[in-house]
Amino acid sequence: MAVNLTHGKGGGQDLAGGIKGWVMVALTLIFVGLYAGALVGGLHSPADDKLTSRLEPMIFVIIGYYFGRLPSQQNESTLKGEIGFQTQRAEAAQHAKEQALQAREALEEKVKNVRAALSAPGVATRGLTDSFDKSDRAAKEDLTRHFVAAALNILNT
């Protein structure tokens, strides 16, 4: 019984997620660089204060998204993978339980058949006891061996 213990996303989804992450990092760095340049005075434009006041909310939104939404997406994908993994484990355990129950039923059937085969010598010898005398003890032993051999044959199948 082999259980697939690996979990994760496909190659195409990993590539798209990686590109999305790098684009978010690049945008964040660009806006933070523009904001820092406007604060330090590196950007010279007639409306320098207007540029700074317009960039500031965008930077906060991007940083908020970067530190808020992206980690939650990673947690979500990790938890989905863990749910899939636990589902596979539960299915494997259920399958093993069903196999064990089937094996138990088969063994119970064998034990029942062996008991029937071994109880037959007692019934047969009780009926034949009157016809056997002490000199025919070998015939009784042969009959008992036959029943024991039948029981062993049942157990070996």
User: Over 60: is that where the pLDDT of 131 sits?
Assistant: no
Burial class (CB in 10 A: 0-12, 13-18, 19+), 114: middle
Q: How confident is the model at residue 3 (pLDDT cuts 50, 70, 90)?
A: very low
Domain assignment of residue 93, given as a range: 11-156
Is 6 a domain residue?
Answer: no
State the average pLDDT for the chain: 76
Q: pLDDT > 70: what percent of the chain?
A: 76
The pTM (predicted TM-score) of the whole model is: 0.47
pLDDT (tens digit, 9 = 90+) per residue, 92-116?
999 999 999 999 999 898 888 888 7
Is 1 a domain residue?
Answer: no
Is 87 a domain residue?
Answer: yes
Question: What's the number of domains the chain is made of?
Answer: 1
Residue 157: the pLDDT is 76
